[in-house]
Amino acid sequence: MKESPLSTREREKFEAQYSEIATLAGGLAHEIKNPLSTMSLNLELLTEDLDSLDVPAKHRMLKKVESVQQECKHLQEILDAFLQFARVGKLALSKANLNDLVSDFIDFFRPQAREANIEISPHFDADLPTIQVDKSLLRQVLMNLALNVVQAMPDGGLIELQTYHKDGMVYLDMIDNGKGIDENVKARMFDAFFSTKSGGSGLGLPTVKKIIDTHQGTIECESEPGRGTRFTIAFPVC
């Protein structure tokens, strides 16, 4: 189906909005990654040198170097998350059935869920209309949401994935029976760099929202502490 003029204008607006920041992010990444890689390599060489020494302080020196290596790794993760966030905007759209995409993701994610003692229960609408979606970015959305769910259920639990459609939109609910989210966190969860996790980049859920927005979709969260969480994503029918 041919896109409507409004749909085209909206997509062009998103692409123009994010293209400049993506260019700046790419330059920033280049400037940071080169010295960071050099630092990491030299730390590895330093570790090898220290390991060959036979001095009383060797263990203490190695621990300090390992601490710096961990910080370099953390910086790399933050940088990668920022680049992922900044580059969202240009879509490779194709027609797809959301059931198929979610089913493929479940097959991919199930071993990780099983390791975390989490059961996945899908409930799919058999008559789901097709949508226009960037399949790679949707996989990123599902992964980010699923990882948040796993962190909300450290002792295991249940994830329900439900698809349905109404009023020209296709919906996906991801529901968990985890610890839930309080109102203060829920109000800021899609803000860039906001995180309640030690060492978190604060860009996982903002990236999810940015991807959904770029698809002209919506994402909502319902949650109460101790009562689990429901994320609802909606995409326009094509």
Q: Domains, the chain, ranges and CATH?
A: 5-87 (1.10.287), 94-236 (3.30.565.10)
Cα gap 62→48, rounded to integer Å: 9
- Nearest Cα residue to 163 out of 101, 218, 223, 209: 101
pLDDT in tens, 96-141: 999 999 999 999 999 999 999 999 999 999 999 999 998 988 998 9
Which pLDDT score, from 0 to 100, does residue 2 have?
Answer: 38
- pLDDT > 70? residue 1: no
pLDDT more than 70, % of the chain: 79
- Nearest Cα residue to 237 out of 214, 211, 217: 217
Number of H helices, E strands in the chain: 6, 7
End-to-end, the C-alpha distance of the chain in Å comes to: 7
pTM score, whole prediction: 0.67
